Structure 1
Amino acid sequence: MPRSSPVDGFSLGYDRTGDGPPVVLLHGWPGGRGDYRLVEPLLADAAEVVVPDLRGFGESDKHPVPPDEGYDAAAQARSVTGLLDELGLGPVVLAGYDIGSRIAQTIARQSPERVRALVVTPPMPGAGRRLLDPDVLTEFWYQNFHRLELSGRLLDGDRDAVRTYLQHFWTHWSGPSYAPVDADLDRLADTYGQPGAFTSSIGWYRVGPGILTRGLAEQAPSLDERLPVRTHVLWPAHDPLFPAAWSDRLDEFFADVSVTELPDSGHFVPIEAPEEFAAAIRRALRES
């Protein structure tokens, strides 16, 4: 497996397959670059596909640094753009789900010239005070738990405890037609259960004010400050974190945005709806 040159001391492990215009796929939590194992073959004849493990995940570096010095969106974006530079990739179709979506959007805002199109799933801007809906608000308990040192003391380095914990999310956040198989959960546990790995993976959640404060403070930008990159949003119908109704304000934040509803998918779109994910990327390649 190739590794990138370090950025801020972090080297990324990544997969690189196919030939054609470049596509970069960013995973979410709790996952890794293997989340795209079903998507990659569907793009092999159409694109050069690069799939990194983000900082603190999988086979990428994990360093015990303050989260805001290593694991926030800006830091993760530096590693991804460093990888683009190292591989000599021109404007890319940049795709992501979960935290990978936020990182992809950060890169597009900071460096729109690097991104020919976005293909992303929630989280997306525009939720606002709907984050206070009791049915939704209770779903975000894990973010506060991750900000406590207690989470690391209870879980870090304990493979069995980590497996049980991650199994909750992979079953609760997924759609009704998907259930993770034991082999996949075992692979997750083997990776996240290594000493230091769980704590590194939740560095993202230990930065900033959290989704509720950020969402309540969010304001739509002026017309000329909307994200100019063409954006394709895949919105699953069975994601308990991000109800499909929250897609109604996207045009307040993006200059060119389209939404494809996924009626059978939950949160883990690359695993639950790989054909739709790959089709959206192919569409972005054709249109951009």
Structure 2
Amino acid sequence: MQKTLPVDGFRLAYDRTGSGPVVVLLHGWPGDRTDYREVVARLSSSAEVVVPDLRGFGESDKHPADPASQYDADAQARSVVGLIEELGLGQAVLGGYDIGSRIAQTVARTRPDLVRALVISPPLPGVGDRILGAQAQREFWYQSFHQLDLAERLIDGKPEGVRAYLRHFWSHWSGPDFELTVEHLDHLVSMYAEPGAFTAAIGWYRGGAGAVARSLAERAPRPEDRLAVPTTVLWPELDPLFPRAWADRIDEFFADAELRHVDGVGHFTPLECPAEFAEALTDAVRPGDHRA
């Protein structure tokens, strides 16, 4: 593990392995950089893979800060840009799921010169007010809960509370054939249970970057303003947060997007379908590929 120079006072912890075309992988909530261990194992012989903990997660810095300015998508993207520039990575393929997907899209939108291609899973734009439907609201309750001081009073710094909370999401959001290992859960609890760590990790939601706020605020851009970076979307079959019907507007937001359905898996694509995730990343960096 290494750490970057600070951006806005935050240093990112990261792992760097392999050689070849550069891939940067961005994790989700409630995870950390170890979410990609199975993907990295498949890529490190043919690519240089850099996997950071995002601001407020894992072994990266966690500071009391205004969430809207220091933990939202723009702030997280600034740290990822700082990582790419500090390491001299040039143009990288960015992979991301959950909040890592939003952050990868933000980097591609603000610094397309640093992004060769995207490989992402939901969330994606195009949901709109469908997120206010009854079924969706039964799933997205936690984003409102994270706005309350009660969330940190009940969970922050309390290992058993953290364990129960994380286990709920890893069990409920995953497909029927996936079970988080005890070892991985123990690791995540050790990261999220340090005093202040849980509060830092939900800074994303407190800063207004959660799916509910983003979906209600989004507007389809003009065709010439669509995200031009080549993008591969891996959309799971069994993600309870983002049903496949919500993939119907991707072309309104992306100028060059390929949709790949991933059957039998839920929300945690890097761990539930690492072979498919690694294959999409390999396709994005392969010389002569239509996305190279």
Instruction: Give the whole-Å Cα distance in 1 for the aligned partners of 2:68 and 2:2.
Output: 27
Aligned residues of 2:12 and 2:61 also touching (Cα < 8 A)? yes
How far apart are 1:213 and its partner, in Å? 4.0
Instruction: Describe the shift of the 1:11–1:213 C-alpha distance in structure 2 as closer, same or farther (beyond 3 A).
Output: closer
Give the whole-Å Cα distance in 2 for the aligned partners of 1:210 and 1:191.
21
Superposed CA RMSD:
1.0
The Cα shift of 1:211 comes to: 2.9
CA contact (8 A) 2:231 2:257 kept: yes
| Counterpart secondary structure, 1:118 | strand
Shift of 1:100: 0.3
SS at match of 1:46: coil
Supply the distance in 2 between the matched residues of 1:254 and 1:222 (Cα, whole angstroms).
Answer: 11
How big is the shift at 1:153? 0.8
Secondary structure, counterpart of 1:119 in structure 2: strand
CA distance in 2, matches of 1:254, 1:209: 20
| Structure 1 position 123, deviation (Å) | 0.2
CA distance in 1 between counterparts of 2:254 and 2:244 reads: 17
1:247 maps to 2:247: yes
Q: Which residue is equivalent to 2:11?
A: 11
The more displaced of 75-84 and 65-74 is: 65-74
Secondary structure, aligned partner of 1:50: strand
**Structure 1 residues 159 and 118, CA, compared in 2 at 3 Å: closer, same or farther?**
same
Q: What is the one-letter code of the residue matched to 2:112?
A: P
Percent of aligned pairs with the same residue?
60
Judging changes above 3 Å, is the alpha-carbon distance between structure 1 residues 253 and 97 closer, same or farther for their aligned structure 2 residues? same
Q: Mapping of 1:110-121 within 5 angstroms?
A: 110-121=110-121
Q: 1:10 to 1:209 in 2, by over 3 A?
A: closer
Given that residues 72 and 209 in structure 2 are in contact (C-alpha distance below 8 angstroms), is that contact kept between their aligned partners in structure 1? no
**Partner of 2:258: helix, strand, or coil?**
strand
Q: Which secondary structure does the structure 2 equivalent of 1:25 belong to? A: strand
CA deviations on 1:7-57 (whole Å, 9 max, x unpaired) are 111001100000001100000000000000000010012210000000000
- What is the distance in 2 between the residues matched to 1:34 and 1:217? 32
Unaligned 5+ segments in structure 1 are none
Task: Give the counterpart letter for 2:9 in structure 1.
Answer: G
* Runs ≥4 residues deviating over 6 A: none
The 8 Å contact of residues 38 and 270 in structure 2, kept in 1 or not, is answered as: yes
Match of 1:20 in 2: 20
Instruction: Tell me the distance in 2 between the aligned counterparts of 1:6 and 1:220.
Output: 34
Q: TM-score, normalised by structure 1?
A: 0.98
State how far apart, in whole Å, the 2-side matches of 1:209 and 1:92 are. Answer: 24
Q: How does 1:1-288 map to 2 (within 5 A)?
A: 1-208=1-208, 210-286=210-286, 287=289, 288=292
The one-letter code of the counterpart of 2:131 is: L
Q: Deviations over 1:104-131 (max 9, x none)?
A: 0000000111101000000001111221
The residue identity in structure 2 corresponding to 1:20 is G
Change in Cα spacing, 1:282 to 1:13, as seen in structure 2 (3 Å) is same
After superposition, the Cα gap between the structure-2 partners of 1:191 and 1:116, relative to the gap in structure 1 and judged at 3 Å, is same
Distance 2:15 2:109 in 1: 25
Structure 1, residues 53-99: CA drift from partner, whole Å, max 9, x if none?
Answer: 00000000000111123111111011110011110011100010000
Return the alpha-carbon distance in structure 2 between the equivalents of residues 239 and 20 of structure 1: 33
* Paired amino acid for 1:145: F
Aligned AA for 1:58? G
SS in 1 for 2:228: coil
Give, in whole Å, the separation in 2 of the partners of 1:30 and 1:183: 15
Higher mean Cα deviation, 150-159 or 128-137?
A: 128-137
